[in-house]
Structure 1
Amino acid sequence: MDVLRGCAVMGILWMNITAFAQPQSAYIDPAAAGPLSAGDIAFWATSLILVDGKMRGLFAMLFGASMLLLIDREEMAGRNGARTQMVRAGWLFVIGAAHYLLLWWGDILTLYALVGLAALRFVHRDPMQLVKAAFLFFLLHFLLVAGYVASFYAWSHASGGGAGFASFAASLSDPASPVVQREIALYRGDFLSILLHKIVDLPRSWSLGFMLSALETLGFMLLGMAMLKSGFLTGRWDAEQYRRTARHCFLIGVPPMIALAAWVWASGFAALPALGTALAWSFPFRVPLSVGWAALILWLFARNPGHPLASRLGAAGRLALSNYLGTSLLMTTIFYGWGLGNFAHVPLGALPLFVAVGWAAMLLWSQPYANRFAIGPAEWLWRSLVRAQPQKIRKSS
């Protein structure tokens, strides 16, 4: 699970790099970043097909599984596991809120904290019950986001509404539009201006993000619980089972994702295809691809258990919270105005270079740190807040 978590936190950096470096709308419509080169389109297509939402799904599955492990550990120690998890979620919400305000608007920790409380109601279900509940929440999520996207279709085709929708779409995807230019100026500006904007925008951005993500996240958490109880996430399956699962999941998910990417590209990144694909039409394939990534990683390391990369990825996974927050600090320093000020200066096709820098940093610092310390700095803060006293951080000699 540590190796999986390390891969997930590295994958999330790939998924988030566009939002660190470009206006928010570039995450859905890459044309918002300016004229597209072949490299820009290749990066966008690779992200859409293989990464976007899949790494978040994998991370949520592992979060759900880790909840079960924590509760079991607490109950074996004679403590109330559910109560500890609720306290843990409360402090995670605080850490996430600080992450949102002080570093980056794309925080997922507050979402995980609240959704994790709902997931507590399912911890004693058997694996099949958890899978059924997960797919029920997946269905509800798809109906919700499909209805949200349908409202834009209705707006664009309403009598007298077409011009208004066209103006709205242009304001989000045209690099020269006032909306996009204001966002670029904001994130090239100083820390205080960005902070005040996020405070003002908090109710809108957080409520919309919660609405569009909560049910999906809950489904993935429950799926992760089922995968832990079945032995999938703990490596109890043999290598061939993981290989077959990965193959089937990628065969189910990749071809339709390629078709969706081709459709959006052929439309010239028109607002409705781009928005619909990002939010709704890609979702049914996100589930098998998230599971497929887990199976592929487990298969690779089941075949090569002593590979040096496994220990480095495992260390990165044990420090997942520190690495998640650390990449936000690193990338906002690189791109925001209070740092190096590269926001909207780097084309999409060059962003993998910055992802590689972040990956290298995670892999290089995590293992030496984990050799000396029992938990990461952010994990230490979180655990100390939960226990209401400083926790031991150094390993015993």
Structure 2
Amino acid sequence: MATTAPPNTRIETLDIIRGIAVMGIFSVNVVGLGMVESAYFYPPDYGFATLGDMVMWALNFIFVDGRFRSLFSVLFGASMVLVIDRAVAAGRKGWKVHFPRMAALLAFGLVHFYFLWWGDILSNYALVGMIAYMFVRLKPKTLTLTAAGLFIFMYGGMTAGTIVQSTQNRPALTAEQTAENEQRLALRIEREREAHASPAAHLNFTLETQPLRPFLSVPQYGIETLALMLLGMALYKSGFLSGTWAQRDYVRIAAYTLVPMLLYHVLAAAAVLNADFARAVFTPLVRMLPFWFHPVGAIGYAALAILLFRSGALADRFAAVGRTAFSNYLCCTLVGMLLFFDFAGGLWGDLSRGQLWLIVPPVWALMLLWSPWWLARYRYGPLEWAWRSLSRWELQPMREVAAA
């Protein structure tokens, strides 16, 4: 089955799924942008007291957390094969195209991380993407088996650790230990607040507290990223992400993946809420076991997107968001900078989790409006153009040429 598109043509389904993925990612990233980092991982740490906060946590946990980031990683692997195949078809060496792209992406990611936000994913993609190049010529079956082995290695280890922890009887914290933890959290909040005075202050804070974090991400969660990229390569080469499979196959895959995934997350959310976010319940059910559903949910959401948005005005807008996904991803952080840094909006730490999510729908609307408007006039998104130009060390044509 042919899976490589003709040169200079777009694969619409890839763009649509990518657009949905980058929009979904912002639904959870807004919390990391607007309040202390630890609250991103454990909600009660900050800005979490009202029913609205709990509802928004539950909805994001059930439908979004981990799965849309995984979907984005899957699409990165698929796009890697697409770019390399087209380079080879044009008579260029694949590695001479791929590695400059990853080097340029790493530069963007490091600027993003050190000056703007701790949650950058681009650095990890660039570093792991360099490793993933070694697998790009493998067949879909081999890629799938390799990805499955990596998932089992990483998630199996995490599950084993969860089981061991659950069998240990840990003594309850003393009042003194609780007070120390609260004091430590208060100090962290104050320091992160100071870091949001300006990008320069953020740089100083980051260099002082976590200077090597982008590079340490490779041994920490790079195995999962690599597995997701390999899965994306396999799904692209098999024709799944191109939308060439029979509709009944997409229906079955969506049902077989999304039903158990959503069922688990609904039951886990109910258990956590019932336990009032006790760490003994929260950690295994939210921070550990759901990892098994990250690739499952990514595949299911991809199948569902292909079923629902093959054509139409909304599909075209999602595709435009996907074509400018790099710009949209980084522009979300720029929106966060304007809202939360002291030299602009100064709202960092002032909004609860539920209030922060109210920012999401307007940003989604902005993505759906500006992306097609821009692409009607220009060939690439602004940051896509910068990435392409930097990768090739030559300014690329930007203005869209009207058809004769």
Q: TM-score, normalised by structure 2?
A: 0.89
Distance across 2 between alignment mates of 1:151 and 1:179:
32
Q: Hey, what's the Cα distance between the residues in 2 that align with 1:37 and 1:369?
A: 39
Greater mean alpha carbon deviation, residues 202-211 or residues 359-368: 202-211
Cross-structure match for 1:260:
268
Q: Deviations over 1:135-157 (max 9, x none)?
A: 11111221444466678779x85
Let me know the Cα RMSD of the aligned residues.
Answer: 2.5
Q: Structure 2 CA distance, aligned partners of 1:75 and 1:178?
A: 54
The answer on 1:366 being equivalent to 2:385 is no
User: In the TM superposition, what is the alpha-carbon distance from 1:395 to its structure 2 partner?
Assistant: 1.6
Alpha-carbon shift at residue 49 of structure 1 (Å): 1.6
Residue 338 (str. 1) matches residue 346 (str. 2): no
Between Structure 1 and Structure 2, which shows a larger proportion of helix residues? Answer: 1
Matched, 1:29 2:34: no
| 1:64, distance to aligned residue in structure 2 (A) | 0.2
Q: 1:388 to 1:274 in 2, by over 3 A?
A: same
The match for 1:131 is 144
Q: Does 1:322 align with 2:327?
A: yes
Task: Show the counterpart of 1:236.
Answer: 244
Tell me: CA distance 1:283–1:300, structure 2 relative to 1, closer, same or farther (3 Å): same
Question: Measured at CA, do residues 201 and 276 of structure 1 come closer, stay the same or move farther in structure 2, by a change above 3 Å?
Answer: farther
Contact 2:78–2:233 at 8 Å: present in 1 too? yes
Following the alignment from structure 1 to structure 2, what is the Cα–Cα distance between the partners of residues 259 and 130? Answer: 32
List gaps (5 residues or longer) in structure 2.
Answer: 1-13
Q: Map of 1:123-162 to 2, 5 A cutoff?
A: 123-146=136-159, 157=169
Q: Secondary structure at the match of 2:117?
A: coil
Counterpart for residue 48 of structure 1: 61
Alpha-carbon offset, residue 344 of structure 1: 1.8
1:226 to 213, 234, 242: 234
Q: Distance in 2 between matches of 1:345 and 1:217?
A: 33
Name which of structure 1's ranges 315-324 and 343-352 shifts more when overlaid on structure 2.
343-352
SS in structure 2 of the partner of residue 338 of structure 1: coil
Identity %: 35
In the alignment, residue 49 of structure 1 is paired with which amino acid? I
Which residue of 195, 200, 210 corresponds with 1:202? 210
1:227-285 Cα shifts (integer Å, max 9, x gaps) = 11111111102333222211111112111122222232233212343333443211112
In 2, Cα distance between equivalents of 1:330 and 1:148:
38
- Distance of aligned partners of 1:339 and 1:181 in 2 relative to their CA distance in 1, 3 Å threshold: same
Q: How does 1:1-397 map to 2 (within 5 A)?
A: 1-146=14-159, 157=169, 163=173, 167=177, 171=181, 177-183=185-191, 185-203=193-211, 205-206=213-214, 209-302=217-310, 305=311, 307-397=312-402
- What do residues 179-219 of structure 1 show as CA deviations (whole Å, max 9, x unaligned)? 34324532553433222001222346435544432111111
Q: Could you say what secondary structure the match of 1:333 adopts?
A: helix
Contact 2:22 2:325 in 1 (8 A): yes
Partners of 1:104 and 1:68 lie apart in 2 by 29
Contact kept in structure 1, 2:67 and 2:293, CA below 8 Å: no
Counterparts of 1:216 and 1:227 in 2: how far apart (Å)? 16
Give TM-score, length-normalised by structure 1: 0.91
CA contact (8 A) 1:137 1:215 kept: yes
Shift of 1:226: 0.8
Q: Is the 8 A contact 2:115 2:200 kept in 1?
A: no
- Give the distance between the partners of 1:220 and 1:293, measured in 2 at CA: 14
Deviation of residue 164 (structure 1)? Answer: 8.2
CA distance in 2, matches of 1:79, 1:37: 57
Instruction: Report the Cα distance in structure 2 between the residues aligned to 1:356 and 1:175, rounded to whole angstroms.
Output: 35
Partner of 2:331, secondary structure, is helix
Opposite residue 264 of structure 2, the aligned amino acid is: P
Q: Distance in 1 between matches of 2:353 and 2:313?
A: 31
Which letter does structure 1 place at the counterpart of 2:384?
A: E
CA shift in 2, pair 1:85/1:392, >3 Å: same
Aligned mates of 1:144, 1:360 — CA distance in 2? 40
Deviations 1:18-72 (CA, angstroms, capped at 9, x unpaired)? 1111211111221112452221111101111210110111000100000000011
Aligned counterparts of 1:121 and 1:164: Cα–Cα separation in 2: 51
Q: Which moved more, 1:35-44 or 1:270-279?
A: 270-279
Deviates more, 1:350-359 or 1:238-247: 238-247
Counterparts in 2 of 1:190 and 1:385: CA distance versus 1, 3 Å: closer
